[in-house]
Amino acid sequence: MQIALLGGTGDIGEGFAVRFSRDTEHDVIVGSRTAEKAANAAESYIETLDDHGVDATVADAENPEAARRGDVVILSVPAYYLSDTIEAVADNLGDAVLVSPAVGMQRDEDGLHYNRPGAGSVAQLAAEAAPAGTPVVGAFQNLAAAKLANLDADMDWDVPVTGDDPEAKATVMELADEVEGLRSLDAGGLANSTEIESLTPLLINLAANNDGLHDLGVKFW
Amino acid sequence: MQIALLGGTGDIGEGFAVRFSRDTEHDVIVGSRTAEKAANAAESYIETLDDHGVDATVADAENPEAARRGDVVILSVPAYYLSDTIEAVADNLGDAVLVSPAVGMQRDEDGLHYNRPGAGSVAQLAAEAAPAGTPVVGAFQNLAAAKLANLDADMDWDVPVTGDDPEAKATVMELADEVEGLRSLDAGGLANSTEIESLTPLLINLAANNDGLHDLGVKFW
C-alpha cells in the first residue's frame, strides 16, 4: 500500500513517516507544497531510520503527485490548512482513503481549548472539502508528535478511529494496529470525531499542569 | 471530613459511597430529595460494604441537611437536575467544596455526543448556580458508574480535576488519590472542564463499538 503524507514535512508527518517505514510493509511518500521541502524531509527521515538500523525507502513529491499515488492519504497539516490542502489535491484523490488527524485548538488563560469547526469536527470539515467518492476517516488525533517521531520512545496508546465507510475505516484501523504500541479502536461514525479531537487539548493541558507528565497519549480500559 | 452525596441514591452515588467508605477515613452522607430514599440507599450501601468485609457507617439525610454537614459536597445528579439541586441547598453550602461530576449528553444515530451547556461545561454551570464563596471543582466525570459501584472490580483510572480555587482543587485531588485505583491529575482551571466532560460520551461510544470493551475509563501517559 502507498501511504501519502500531505504536508509530511512537519512534526506529525515525521512521526508517521518513520513509524510506518519501520513497523509496516507499506511505502511512504512525503508530500509538500514544494518538491525541495519534500525531498529534504524524506532524506532526513531516511537518515533517522538508518540510524535505527532500518533500511527503508521514503519517497517524496509535491502534494498533488503524492495524493495521486497514495492509497491512503493522510492530511498531516494544521487544521487551518486543511481545506486548502484538500482543494489543491482534489482532482488526484480518486478513491483513496483520506485520513484526518488534525485538531483545531485555541489558547486562553486556562490553557488550550478545542476549537470546534462549524462542520462539527475537523474530520467532518475534511469530508465537506473532499470530492464525492473519496472516503474520509478520522484517526491519529491524540498522538504526541514528538514521541511518535522518536523511534527510541515506546508508545502504548489507543487510536480511536471514525468513519462512515466501513472498508475505509477498516483499512486505517489495520494500518494503526501495524504500528508497534498502537491499538486501534472503532469509535463509530465520522460525526463522533468531535469528542476525539477534543481530547487533544486535554492531553496538552494535563502535561502542562502535572510534573513528570509530557508527550501524553491515552489508553482506554 | 464529611462527604455529602447530593442525589446519592443513583448509580454514581452508590459508587462514591462504597468506594469512599471502603478506601478512605471520611464519613459519607447520602443525600436525596426524600429522607426515605436516602435512608434506603444508605442501608443498601452498608449491606454491600458488609458483604465485602467493611464495617462502615453511611449516614443519610435530605439534600439540604446533607449539604449543611458536608465539607465536600458532590453533585451526584444528572446534568439536567444540577441547577435545581444547587438551588435547593444553596443556603446550606457555606464554604464547602462543591464537586461537579456530571456530563450532559445526547444521542443521535452515530452514538452519544457531548451536549455542551451555554456556560461552557457542566462544572461552569455549577459555578454559576453556586453561591458566592462556595468553590466549585470539576472531577470524576470519566468514571464508569457500574464499575465504580462494584467493589469486586479493580480500577486503574485517571481523574482529571479542574478548579479555580487551588485549595478546593487540592482537597478533591487528595480525596480521589485515596481511592484505590484512581490517580488524580491537575487539569487546570474550571474552564478546562469542557474537554474532560467531552471524554465521557467517547468512552461510551468506544464500549459500544468494540467487542470486549465495557465500563471504560481512561489512563493518560
Q: What is the pLDDT of residues B81-95, one digit of tens each?
A: 999 999 999 999 999
Q: Do B196 and A186 touch (CB under 8 A)?
A: no
User: Mind listing the pLDDT tens digit for each residue in B138-172?
Assistant: 999 999 999 999 999 999 999 999 999 999 999 99
How much of chain A, in percent, has pLDDT values that exceed 70? Answer: 100
Contact predicate B161/B186, CB 8 Å: yes
Q: Please give the pLDDT value at position B80.
A: 94
- The closest of B1, B98, B8 to B60, measured between CA atoms, is B8
Task: Supply B97's cell numbers.
Answer: 467544596
Residues of A in contact with B209 (CB under 8 A): 185-188
Q: Do A217 and B220 touch (CB under 8 A)?
A: yes
Provide the shortest C-alpha distance from residue A193 to chain B (in Å): 9
Q: Is the CB of residue B177 less than 8 Å away from at least one CB of chain A?
A: no
Relative orientation angle of helices B193-209 and B122-129, to the nearest 10 degrees = 140
Across A77-81, average pLDDT: 96
Residue A176 has pLDDT above 90, yes or no: yes
Which of A114, A213, A220 is the closest to B206 by Cβ?
A220
- CB-CB neighbours of B121 under 10 Å: 28
Among the listed residues B164, B52, B12, B24, the one whose alpha carbon sits nearest the alpha carbon of residue A110: B164
pLDDT of res. A22: 98
Q: Closest partner residue to B187 among A185, A189, A202, by Cβ? A: A202
Q: How far is CA B7 from CA A72, B154, B175, in A?
A: 50, 25, 19
Residues of B in contact with A221 (CB under 8 A): 156, 213, 216-217, 219
Q: What is the mean pLDDT of each run of 10 residues along chain B (221 residues)?
A: 97 97 98 98 98 96 98 97 97 96 94 95 98 97 97 97 98 98 98 98 97 97 95
Separation between Cα atoms, residue A158 and residue B212, nearest integer Å: 15
pTM: 0.96
Which pLDDT belongs to residue B184? 98
| A136 has a pLDDT exceeding 90 | yes
Written as nine digits, the cell of A94 is 480518486
- Name the percent of chain A lying above pLDDT 90: 99
Backbone angles phi, psi at B60, to 5 degrees: -145, 150
| C-beta atoms of A217 and B221 within 8 A | yes
- Cβ distance A40 to A33 under 8 Å? no
Grid cell for residue B190: 474550571
Q: What is the pLDDT of residue B110?
A: 86
Q: What angle do CA A127, B201, A72 make, to 5 degrees?
A: 30
Write out chain A residues lying below 8 Å of B204, CB-based: none
Q: Are B150 and B45 in contact (CB under 8 A)?
A: no
What ipTM goes with this model?
Answer: 0.95
Element (H, E) at B70: none
Please report, rounded to a whole number, the percentage of residues in chain B having pLDDT higher than 70.
100
Whether A114 and chain B come into contact, CB under 8 Å, resolves to yes
The torsion region of residue B116 among left (phi > 0), alpha (psi -120 to 50) and beta comes to beta
Mean pLDDT for A127-147 is 97
| CB-nearest partner of A194 from B113, B213, B221 | B113
Q: What is the largest CA-CA distance in chain A?
A: 48
The domain segmentation of chain B, as residue ranges, is 2-209
Structure-block grid coordinates of residue A122:
475537523
Looking at the complex, report in whole angstroms how far the Cα of residue B169 sits from the nearest Cα belonging to chain A.
13
Quick one: pLDDT at residue B38?
98
The predicted pLDDT at position B7 comes to: 96
> Could you tell me which residues come within 8 angstroms of residue B166 by beta carbon, excluding any fewer than 6 positions away?
none
CA–CA min distance A65, chain B (Å): 34
Read off the pLDDT of each residue in A126-155 and give the average, rounded to a whole number: 97
User: Directed axis angle between helix A193-209 and helix A122-129, to 10°?
Assistant: 140
Nearest by CB to A216, from B111, B190, B220: name it: B220
Q: Which residues of chain A form beta strands (DSSP E)? A: 2-6, 27-32, 58-62, 72-75, 97-100, 105-108, 111-114, 136-138, 157-163, 182-186, 218-220
- Give B185's contacts in chain A (Cβ within 8 Å): 206, 209-210, 213
Burial of A219 (0-12, 13-18, 19+ CB in 10 A): middle
Residue A152, pLDDT > 90, answer yes
State residue A110's pLDDT score: 86
Closest CA to A175 of A62, A29, A73: A73
Strand partners, A138: A100, A162
Would you say how long chain A is, in residues?
A: 221
Specify the CATH class of A2-209 in words. alpha beta
